[in-house]
Amino acid sequence: MKQPLGVILAGGLATRMGGGDKGLLRLDDQTILAHVIARFEPQVAGLALNANGDANRFANIGLPVIADSVAGFAGPLSGVLAGLDWAANQGAEHIVTAAADTPFLPCDAVPQLQLAAEMAGVDIALAASPNGRQPTFGLWPVRLREDLRAALDGGLRKVVQWTSKHHAATAEFPDDAAFFNVNTPEDLITARGML
């Protein structure tokens, strides 16, 4: 399997954080997003950020910013579709997604997701930790983008509902801390302690 492109999902509303971009919050001497990029970028052939609204607020990170094509904040699958459309224009076969608020994501996320898909003989793999599935961390084939678009247009919003239809594999990761996400001000304090 060729090295996939990477897409960081930052298209949510961050309501538990009071709005704004969680990825732009400071964690030590850099943003949460900078931590995500540092861990994710070496694993992929290229990287983009899925975010809605004014893309200029991310101008200093040096990544292409791709918005959801489905209106109304349709959830992570909408970001996956935006990533698949972007990857199709690059001639890529797969993308791997990661959440923009997970500064400790696994440094082997991509190869583990690829291995899980290959071992199961399927196109999609989702990460899981002892706390359960981590559905924003996944390997997604570009060839299924029209199927996903149709599902979203039909009102589907649950990641697992769509991936189950395609018999997604699971890549097991032993460390819950790798998927710690910063959703609240208290989580940000916890993340600073985890550094």
Phi-psi region of 80 (alpha: psi -120 to 50; beta: other; left: phi over 0): alpha
Phi, psi torsion values for 190, nearest 5 degrees? -60, -45
Residue-level pLDDT at 19: 53
- Residue 115: give its domain's CATH number: 3.90.550.10
Residue 101 corresponds to which tokens in the numbers above? 């608020």
Mean pLDDT computed over 106-113 = 97
The winner for highest mean pLDDT among 6-15, 17-26, 66-75, 152-161 is 152-161
Helix (H, G, I), strand (E, B) or coil at 97: strand
Is the CB of residue 65 less than 8 Å from the CB of residue 82?
no
Residue 12 pLDDT grade (very low, low, confident, very high; cuts 50, 70, 90):
low
Residue-level pLDDT at 15: 42
Number of domains observed in the structure of the chain: 1
Instruction: List CB contacts of 19: < 8 A, sequence separation 6 or more.
Output: 13
The residue that leads in pLDDT, 162 or 69, is: 162
Residue-level pLDDT at 101: 94
Give tens-digit pLDDT for 142-192. 999 999 999 999 998 899 899 999 999 999 999 999 999 998 889 888 888
What are the CA-CA distances from residue 74 to residues 13, 100, 117, 159, 182 (Å)? Answer: 11, 17, 26, 11, 20
Tell me which residue has tokens 């003989």.
121
Residue-level pLDDT at 163: 94
Mean pLDDT computed over 89-104 = 96
Residues 176, 182, 186, 188, CA torsion sign: positive
The two beta strands, 169-172 and 47-50, are unpaired
The residue that leads in pLDDT, 26 or 129, is: 129
Identity at 84, one-letter amino acid code: L
Domain around 109: 5-194
Mean pLDDT computed over 30-55 = 95
- Which residue in 107, 105, 104, 129 sits closest to 191, CA to CA? 104
